[in-house]
Every structure is written in C-alpha cells, then in structure tokens.
Amino acid sequence: VNTLEAAQTGELSFLAHPRYKPLLATTQASAVLVRRDAVHQEFLEAEHRPQLLFVEHPHAAFYQAVRYFFPESKAKAGFRHPTAVIADTAQIHASAWIGANTFIGEHCSIGAHTRLYANVVCYDHTEIGANCIIHAGTVLGSDGFGFLEKPDDSFEKIPQLGNVIIEDDVEIGANCTIDRAVLGSTRIGRGVKLDNLIHVAHNVVIGEHTAIAAQTGISGSTTIGARNRVAGQVGFVGHITTADDITVFAQSGVSKSLRHKGTYFGTPAKPHHIKVREEVATRQLAAAFQELRALRAEIERLKKNL
C-alpha cells in the first residue's frame, strides 16, 4: 500500500482528490482504488494503466486495505515496560499497554486496551477510560494555574484538589498538558481527539467527538461542546462555553461563549463570513483613502465654483 506518487509495481494505491488525478497516468502502482465517476472513458481504454478498483469512498477503502495488510498488533496487550513506574494503588486493566519511563501516580485508573507511550506522566488520581491512546511526553493531572494575589504582590497557591478524567476512545497527541481541576474534574469526553502540544487548563470540559488540532490552548473552566472542530493554535479564554457542532479556524482567539452552531474565525473570534468581509474591507483601505481624498478635492472645487 502506498501513495500514487511513491507506489511501486505490486502496490495498491488510491485516488481520493481530483487534484491528484494526473498521477493516475504516471503511477507505478499495480492497482488503484477510485470512484467510477472520477475516471474518463479514454483513460479506461488506455493500454498501460493500473488495475482500477471502483469504490464509493476510495480513502476509507484504502485504509480498510491498510488494516488488512497491517493488522494492529494484539500481541502486546498487557505489556508493561520494565522501566514504567506504577504506584501500588493504581488500577491498570490487564489489557492496557504501558510504555517505557511512564509514570502513573497513586490511585490512577487505566481502562481496557488503553495504550500509554513512553514518558507519559499521570499525576495522582488521573482516570483514563478504555481504548485510549496517550502519546509520548504528555502530562495528565498537573496542577492548574491558580493563585491569589497577596497585598505584598506575591502569590498564594490555590490548592489543586481535583483530578483529570479521560473518557473512552480518546486519543491525545505528544507533549500535551492537561491540568487537574481545582475541585471536581477536568474532563475529556468520549471519542475526543487531541493533536500535539495542546494545553487544557483546570476544570475544562470537552464534549464528545470533538477534535482539536495542535498547539491550541483552552483556559480554565471553559466548556467545549460536542463535535466541535478546532484548528491549530486557537486560544479559548476561561469560563466560556461553545455550542455543539462549532468549527473554529486556526489561530482564532475565542473571547466569548459561542452559542450558535457555525464557523468562527479571528481574534476576537467572530462568524467566519464577517471576518472574511472585514479582511476584504481591510485590503481595500488604500483605495478607500484615495477615494476619500478625491471626494474632498471635488467638494473644494464645487465650493469654489459656487
């Protein structure tokens, strides 16, 4: 299995996006998964072409084939790397997979078939559900960023007594940080997918099946709805809520609750079409200023003529 560009004779590939159609004629792949309507008749009649396998969803079909050729190793279920540090009071399901140099603190629990890669850190009382994947270097349950200012300008630490709960079927990328709650739980909902280097502050709740791209940060006590799609490097201020089915574009700064399903962009984040309109207007400013000067000149001329 391989991409159209890299495939050699004997390999299977796929065409999912029209952009890559020219590669159909040049690929060395022996067989290609493709939609019937994506191929012209004349190509079908070409002499030298890969075998075409017509399917409805070439991308999904390809990954089915991949899984067939590279079945996920079940052999390692229950693996504990000898360098993993696991507290006596932690409850690890027999089928969980625990990588090297991983640290699992007191009273943690880890569900069935969940996999922690190398150097993951779970502070005390972290709870991880079943079928989760936590990538290397991610820290779960570190103290939330909470301080009281004292009259002498120094800070007093607010004790962080809550924990982190990761529900089932969650995948978290590498070097993320998810802080424990002050009280109660920071909660990552079922089926959520987090990319790398994401920051989730104390008492945040992320709804089911939400996906968030790399380097996004969510401030304390914010609640993200279900099925949100958040692009990379987005920031959410604290104590706000997003509705279900929200999409946020990259580098946006969400400063208020987003109460309506839709697509948002910008700092501060606003409905995408409004942001686009403002961006277009900004580009026209030089011309507008010129028109403004032209109008001024016209008026002065008119006044003189009168």
Q: Which residues are catalytic?
A: 202
Residue closer to its own copies (CB basis): 91 or 142 = 142
66: contact with its own copies by CB under 8 A = yes
Residue closer to its own copies (CB basis): 2 or 91 = 2
Residue closer to its own copies (CB basis): 24 or 132 = 132
Site for its own copies in 231-250 (CB under 8 A): 232-233, 235, 237, 250
C-alpha distance from residue 8 to each of 113, 122, 135 (Å)? 35, 44, 32
For the bound state, the minimum distance from the C-beta of residue 54 to its own copies, rounded and expressed in Å, comes to 19
277: contact with its own copies by CB under 8 A = yes
Residue closer to its own copies (CB basis): 54 or 145 = 145
Single residue of 107, 113, 253, 261 touching its own copies by CB under 8 A: 253
Binding mask 115-154 for its own copies (x = CB under 8 A): --xxx-x-x---------x-xxx-x--xx-x-xx----xx
298: contact with its own copies by CB under 8 A = yes
Binding mask 172-201 for its own copies (x = CB under 8 A): -xxxxx-x---xx------x-x-xxx-x-x
Site for its own copies in 70-99 (CB under 8 A): 70, 72, 81, 83, 85, 99
